[in-house]
C-alpha cells in the first residue's frame, strides 16, 4: 500500500504539471479525489489492515490527501485570478475618452404657455376642456352669431372640407359646444386650448396653423369688471406683477361689447420701445361680454344668464414672453431652438 501511495503521488505530480486551466484541474480532482479514485479505494480498504498498518498507512494517506488538496486549491486560486484579470483587461474602460452624452428632452414653448395658462385658470376654478379640430360650420360660425355670408367669415379664411365641415378657425366653437351640452343650464367656467387653422400664407407673423386659448365664464350678474379683474390676474401672472391692462373697444360677432386687451409693456414699462412699437402697450387678446344671441342659440336664457369670453393666441404670448421673432420657429422642430426653453422658468416673476 505504501508503494501504491507513492505511485499515486508520483503520477499526480506528473499530471498536475500539465494542467493549464480550471477544466482540466477539475478532471484531475475527480480522478484523484472522486468516489472511484485510488485514494478512495485505499481509504475503504484501511479497515482490512492491522491496527499498526492502519495507523501508518492512514497517516501516509492523510498526508497525500492534504498534499493533493493543497495543490489543487492553490492552482484553482491561480486560475481564478488569471481568469478575472483577463476579463478585467478585456472590459477595460478608457476613462480619458469623451463620454456619450444623453440628450434630455425639453418642453415646447407653446406647451409651456398652455401649461402655465391652464394651471393659473384651474387655480381660479376653471375646467380645461377640449373640442374637435374638424368642426361643423354651425359651431365654428353660426352658433357664434356668424351666419353664412357674414363679413367676419372673410377675416377667417377657412379650410373647408365640404359645405358643413371645416378645420376650426378659432377655439370659440367650444363655447357653443359646452353651453349646448349642459342639460341643466347653469354656470360655466372653462378654458380651452387647442389648434386652429386658417388659409394664411406663412411668414414671420402668420401661420396656417396656430394655437388659441379660449376662456368662457357664464353665470348670473357677471360684469365687465369681473372680466377686467380676471384678465388683470392673467396679465400679471404671465408678464410680471407690475403689469397693468387696458381695454380698447373692438368688434367680435359673439361678444357685445367687444374689447381688445393690452398689457403694459414688460420691456420698457410704458416708456416706449421697439417691442411695444413705442406705444407702451402690447395687444394680447380679444374678449367681451357674451352676446345674448350666442346664449339664446345655445339654450341659455339671456335674461337670466350672461358672461364673458376671451381668446388669445398662444404663439403671440410665447413670442412676447420669450422674445421669439418668427412664428415659424415654433414648427420647424429645430432642437437648438426648443432646448433654450429648458432653462427659462417663471422669468417675469
Residue 145 or 237: the one with the smaller Cβ distance to ligand DAH is: 145
CB atoms within 10 A of CB 321: 19
Joined grid coordinates for residue 210: 396656430
Residue 143 or 252: the one with the smaller Cβ distance to ligand DAH is: 252
- Segment (H or E) for 31: helix 22-33
Q: How far is the CB of 200 from ligand DAH (least distance, A)?
A: 12
Residue 158 or 237: the one with the smaller Cβ distance to ligand DAH is: 158
**H runs (alpha helix) in 46-191:** 51-90, 109-123, 137-140, 152-155, 173-181
Nearest residue to 218 (alpha-carbon basis) of 302, 114, 316: 302
Residue 211 or 237: the one with the smaller Cβ distance to ligand DAH is: 211
Q: Are 204 and 324 contacting, i.e. CB atoms less than 8 angstroms apart?
A: no
Omega before 257 within 30 of 0, i.e. cis:
yes
CB atoms within 10 A of CB 103: 7
Residue 25 or 309: the one with the smaller Cβ distance to ligand DAH is: 309
Q: How far is the CB of 171 from ligand DAH (least distance, A)?
A: 7
Whole-number Å distance between alpha carbons of 282 and 197: 24
Residue 24 or 152: the one with the smaller Cβ distance to ligand DAH is: 152
Q: Are 288 and 294 contacting, i.e. CB atoms less than 8 angstroms apart?
A: no
Q: How far is the CB of 185 from ligand DAH (least distance, A)?
A: 19
Joined grid coordinates for residue 44: 475503504
Burial of 23 (0-12, 13-18, 19+ CB in 10 A): exposed
Q: How far is the CB of 122 from ligand DAH (least distance, A)?
A: 18
Q: How far is the CB of 309 from ligand DAH (least distance, A)?
A: 3
| Residues of the shown chain interacting with ligand DAH in the complex, contacts defined by CB under 6 A | 170, 172, 214, 252, 255, 286-288, 309-311
Distances (CA, A) of 230 to 40, 42, 62, 217, 227: 96, 101, 97, 10, 5
Q: How far is the CB of 214 from ligand DAH (least distance, A)?
A: 5
Q: Are 309 and 200 contacting, i.e. CB atoms less than 8 angstroms apart?
A: no
Joined grid coordinates for residue 258: 367687444
Q: How far is the CB of 157 from ligand DAH (least distance, A)?
A: 12
Residue 237 or 255: the one with the smaller Cβ distance to ligand DAH is: 255
Residue 12 or 197: the one with the smaller Cβ distance to ligand DAH is: 197
Q: How far is the CB of 313 from ligand DAH (least distance, A)?
A: 8
User: Which residue has the closest beta carbon to ligand DAH?
Assistant: 311
Amino acid at each position: 500500500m505504501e508503494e501504491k501511495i507513492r505511485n499515486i503521488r508520483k503520477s499526480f505530480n506528473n499530471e498536475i504539471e500539465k494542467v493549464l486551466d480550471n477544466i482540466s484541474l477539475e478532471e484531475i480532482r475527480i480522478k484523484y479525489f472522486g468516489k472511484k479514485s485510488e485514494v478512495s479505494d485505499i481509504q475503504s480498504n484501511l479497515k482490512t489492515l492491522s491496527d499498526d498498518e492502519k495507523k501508518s498507512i492512514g497517516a501516509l494517506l492523510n498526508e497525500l490527501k492534504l498534499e493533493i488538496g493543497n495543490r489543487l486549491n492553490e492552482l484553482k486560486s491561480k486560475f481564478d485570478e488569471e481568469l478575472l484579470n483577463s476579463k478585467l483587461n478585456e472590459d477595460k474602460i478608457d476613462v480619458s475618452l469623451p463620454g456619450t452624452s444623453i440628450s434630455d428632452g425639453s418642453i415646447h414653448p407653446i406647451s409651456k404657455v398652455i401649461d402655465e395658462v391652464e394651471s393659473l385658470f384651474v387655480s381660479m376654478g376653471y375646467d380645461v376642456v377640449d373640442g374637435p379640430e374638424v368642426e361643423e360650420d354651425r359651431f365654428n360660425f353660426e352658433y357664434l352669431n356668424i351666419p353664412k355670408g357674414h363679413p367676419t367669415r372673410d377675416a377667417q379664411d377657412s379650410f373647408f372640407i365640404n359645405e358643413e365641415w371645416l378645420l376650426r378657425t378659432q377655439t370659440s366653437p367650444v363655447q357653443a359646444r359646452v353651453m349646448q351640452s349642459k342639460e341643466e343650464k347653469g354656470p360655466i367656467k372653462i378654458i380651452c386650448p387647442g389648434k386652429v387653422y386658417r388659409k394664411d400664407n406663412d411668414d414671420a407673423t402668420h401661420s396656417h396653423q396656430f394655437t388659441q386659448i379660449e376662456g368662457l365664464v357664464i353665470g348670473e350678474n357677471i360684469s365687465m369688471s369681473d372680466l377686467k379683474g380676471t384678465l388683470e390676474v392673467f396679465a400679471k401672472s404671465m408678464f410680471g406683477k407690475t403689469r397693468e391692462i387696458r381695454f380698447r373697444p373692438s368688434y367680435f360677432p359673439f361678444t357685445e361689447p367687444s374689447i381688445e386687451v393690452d398689457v403694459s409693456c414688460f420691456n420698457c414699462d410704458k416708456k416706449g420701445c421697439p417691442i411695444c412699437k413705442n406705444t407702451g402697450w402690447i395687444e394680447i387678446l380679444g374678449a367681451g361680454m357674451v352676446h345674448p344671441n350666442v346664449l339664446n342659440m345655445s339654450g341659455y336664457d339671456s335674461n337670466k344668464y350672461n358672461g364673458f369670453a376671451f381668446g388669445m393666441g398662444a404663439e403671440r404670448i410665447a413670442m412676447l414672453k420669450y422674445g421669439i421673432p418668427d412664428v415659424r420657429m415654433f414648427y420647424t422642430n429645430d432642437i437648438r431652438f426648443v432646448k433654450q426653453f429648458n432653462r427659462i422658468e417663471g422669468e417675469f416673476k
